[in-house]
Structure 1
């Protein structure tokens, strides 16, 4: 094995960091001088990064600047940081109020990624670590995120996703799942009981940003035995209120117009 690919990645990272000086654009010669690399090597790096949208060339000067993808990555980081700060105390309060594990999930393709999680204090509890991916179609967070996704995103998912059967209760028919997502949009929350794993239940509600766009889902996960002991409507109301609390911390208000997230 060789570390040559790692060196290439290191050089690409160094090149991108060269733009932190906030100069309007940098040419191949100047980047070569600053990085201590040959012009041909810098040109190859720039060509590769440009193909991925990380840099772009100014056709008038021939120089390079950061591309829009870098801005999008920066926005993604900001959203995650803002979400973590906004959700932290709400997650803790929700865990205290329900006694169950609480979590925040975000949509990534056909999966939900848990970006924040607090574990229940019960001896019998669920172990789903932060960063874990779970399928959209058989989780409450996934149903919330897909239900409130732009229609083209939702329809593309229903047309292309593999709706794997994890238990006898998993929704595997696209038409049935479409109807379930419509119900989620109408009532404002989703649940999943025995759908991903027998004996496991969850309930989730949306988190909106300042524009009213659903960017995440907040919910609880619990063994079915304890989940069924709490009246469903009361639990749903508690979690919807938690989602609204996080949303307000992100700048949302009920009076604000809802802008549809770009598909």
Structure 2
């Protein structure tokens, strides 16, 4: 076999191994050889060899009869070691850089501090006109997309205790001041997994945000992208929504293994 043919065969085998991992990740029930071969359109003989190799290395486990398979301890061991070497800020930088490279819009990360959204990381766009924060800056939760996302991770009772008099301060002429409207938007965020701010904390700045899901499926932080109204258009808005949702999902998965 020529060298290029060997390389092609090696790459194809690697692809098949990744296909196997992705199939098992999607399924909750163990999978047998016949089903795997059919699902991946792979010859049974080839599938059997790969399964045996993965089984021997601990990447898969089988039942006592060796008839059905599921993901093994090795993948979780690797994931655990990876998680020990990551943190929220460093994973934000990786996710944010992707968004800036794709959209050239500023990206921010916040956590909750009482009634405020605390800015703990940022990645700026190169546009001369952009929203600029500073680390440690705080804005009211109800007036920001990221803050509303953070609120969505709380129970209704916890939110009511946060605003006992139902009074919401106004920062701009579009800031939400009605508690009922705030709760309506929080309900929408819980359903859709994404929040918005339309110039509610800074005039002329719109923001899209999504939750970074932490341990016990609690919201650990919020990832957001801010856009000046002067650059806003529906096509860009849709791309921002997709990028923010994907970035938050990647951070959640890398840090906390949330699907």
Is this a same-fold pair by TM over 0.5?
yes
1:126 and 1:82 mapped to 2: Cα distance?
25
1:123 and 1:229 mapped to 2: Cα distance?
21
What residue number does 1:150 align with? 155
What CA deviation, in whole Å up to 9, does each residue of 1:139-198 have, x standing for no partner?
000000001223332221243464111222111011111111111111111111121122
The 1:82/1:134 distance shift into structure 2, 3 A limit, reads: same
What residue number does 1:191 align with? 196
1:129 and 2:134 correspond: yes
What residue number does 1:245 align with? 250
What residue number does 2:120 align with? 115
What CA deviation, in whole Å up to 9, does each residue of 1:182-233 have, x standing for no partner?
1111111111112112211111100011432111000111211213354434
What residue number does 1:3 align with? none
Contact 1:207 1:214 in 2 (8 A): yes
CA RMSD of aligned residues (A): 2.1
TM-score w.r.t. the length of structure 2 is 0.63
What CA deviation, in whole Å up to 9, does each residue of 1:91-120 have, x standing for no partner?
111111121111100000000011110111
1:82 and 1:162 mapped to 2: Cα distance?
36
What residue number does 1:172 align with? 177
- 5+ residue gaps, structure 1: 1-78, 255-263
What residue number does 1:88 align with? 93
Alignment size in residue pairs: 176
2:152 and 2:90 mapped to 1: Cα distance?
25
- 5+ residue gaps, structure 2: 1-83
TM-score w.r.t. the length of structure 1 is 0.62
What CA deviation, in whole Å up to 9, does each residue of 1:110-135 have, x standing for no partner?
00011110111111112111110011
- 1:87 to partner: Cα distance: 1.6
Normalized per residue, which structure has more helix? 2
What residue number does 1:139 align with? 144
